[in-house]
């Protein structure tokens, strides 16, 4: 990031988040994806094939939910670990300027949550399940392109998300415009919406409306703002994919700043692709070649309980490193 040149001793190189057009030639796309995963663990995809009306309907339903009165939102139960959360994040005392709905992606959980949220639960379930099916399909397409680029069997990662017991999540985040008091303190404080972390799962797909807030860590305290683009999905490498590629891909540390727009809410819709709980996470031998494995084998259930017992900001994969 910092390089010497003859004119000035130190120049901070301008970093740019890669945007990859999925309609381009497959071999080229998979090469660009590998490069982005190695350098940032983060990229955007456009021409991703998720129909606009599916995203829009899901976004409308999310706003409809967040605009309800607090007791109505709380009917879905606290986010412990799934449900409605307001300012409190996780179980270890993290807080942020947001409210959210965290759902398991299996059809039973969605049906139960929708009954508590809506007077037309079947219609809502249809929308949510339709959205999940589309983002899961996209996640699988991207994982297939990654496998291809790494010279692995195409299904090596994908099967983990299509298994009946896949532990994938859908998170709807609402960052409301600041209250007058928060707006004043934000000029000095830079308040956080969702603190620095990496995602523990395999792959994350995030889309948001046009309001900024997401930032990618470049290390050493440098943050790169992610320009919002409702036409794109942000793709984020999770901790498991870092472990499964023996550290070749990096899980991206990111955060969301609190909303500073005086009028508009920020909404993000995030799919976290996780494997069945008992899946053993190891690196395929084809990727090891002469390199030693960096991590012990562990199950997703072990890793998840370790991650959930910790706070945002902590680097959790180090705990599973081989010495
Ligand atoms: C980060 C990614 C997902 O949003 C999440 C988060 C989870 C939560 O909100 O309950 C965690 C966080 C996330 C990692 C560390 C722990 C657990 C909050 C937290 C402090 C749903 C996930 O799977 O891990």
Which tens digits make up the pLDDT trace of 255-267? 999 999 889 999 9
Question: Measuring from atom 17 of ligand 1, which residue has the nearest CA?
Answer: 308
Distance (Å) from CA 241 to ligand 1 centroid: 16
Delimit the domains of the chain by residue range.
Answer: 19-316
- CA gap 74, 84 in Å, rounded: 6
Report the predicted TM-score, pTM, of the whole model to 2 decimal places: 0.94
Q: How far is CA 182 from CA 69, 125, 194, 262, in A?
A: 21, 35, 16, 11
What is the per-residue pLDDT across 156-183, written as a single tens digit (0 to 9) for each? 999 999 999 999 999 999 999 987 666 6
What is the per-residue pLDDT across 253-303, written as a single tens digit (0 to 9) for each? 999 999 998 899 999 999 999 999 999 999 999 999 889 999 999 999 999
Pocket flag, ligand 1, residue 253 (CB < 6 Å)? no
Q: Average pLDDT in the 73-93 region?
A: 95
Domain 19-316 has CATH 3.30.450.20: no
Question: Ligand 1: which of 89, 205, 305 to mutate, judged by most atoms within 8 Å of the beta carbon?
Answer: 89
Q: What is the gyration radius of the CA atoms in the chain, in angstroms? A: 20
Q: Is the pLDDT of residue 185 over 70?
A: no
Question: Measuring from atom 19 of ligand 1, which residue has the nearest CA?
Answer: 90
Residue, of 8 and 295, whose pLDDT is higher? 295
Share of the chain above pLDDT 70, in %: 93
Is 37 in contact with 147 (CB distance < 8 Å)? no
What are the catalytic residues? Answer: 266
């Amino acid at each position: 990031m910092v390089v010497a040149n003859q004119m000035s001793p130190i120049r901070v190189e301008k970093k740019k988040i890669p945007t990859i057009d999925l309609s381009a030639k497959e071999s080229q796309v998979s090469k660009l994806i590998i490069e982005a995963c190695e350098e940032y663990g983060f990229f955007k995809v456009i021409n991703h094939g998720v129909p606009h009306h599916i995203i829009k309907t899901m976004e409308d339903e999310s706003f409809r939910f967040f605009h309800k009165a607090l007791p109505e939102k709380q009917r879905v139960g606290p986010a412990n670990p799934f449900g409605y959360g307001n300012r409190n994040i996780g179980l270890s005392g993290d807080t942020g300027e947001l409210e959210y709905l965290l759902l398991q992606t299996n059809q039973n959980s969605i049906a139960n949550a929708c009954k508590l949220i809506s007077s037309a639960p079947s219609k809502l379930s249809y929308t949510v399940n339709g959205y999940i099916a589309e983002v899961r399909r996209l996640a699988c397409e991207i994982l297939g392109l990654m496998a291809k680029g790494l010279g692995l069997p195409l299904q090596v990662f994908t099967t983990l998300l299509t298994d009946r017991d896949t532990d994938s999540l859908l998170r709807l985040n609402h960052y409301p415009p600041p209250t007058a008091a928060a707006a004043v303190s934000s000029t000095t404080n830079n308040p956080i919406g969702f603190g620095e972390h990496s995602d523990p799962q395999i792959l994350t797909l995030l889309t948001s409306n046009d309001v900024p807030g997401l930032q990618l860590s470049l290390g050493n305290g440098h943050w790169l703002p992610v320009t919002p683009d409702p036409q794109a999905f942000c793709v984020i490498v999770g901790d498991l994919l870092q472990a499964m590629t023996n550290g070749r891909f990096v899980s991206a540390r990111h955060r969301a700043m609190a909303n500073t727009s005086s009028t508009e809410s920020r909404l993000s819709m995030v799919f976290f692709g996780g494997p069945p709980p008992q899946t053993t996470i190891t690196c395929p031998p084809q990727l090891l070649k002469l390199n030693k494995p960096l991590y012990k084998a562990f199950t997703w259930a072990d890793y998840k309980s370790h991650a959930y017992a910790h706070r945002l900001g902590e680097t959790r994969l180090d705990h599973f490193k081989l010495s």
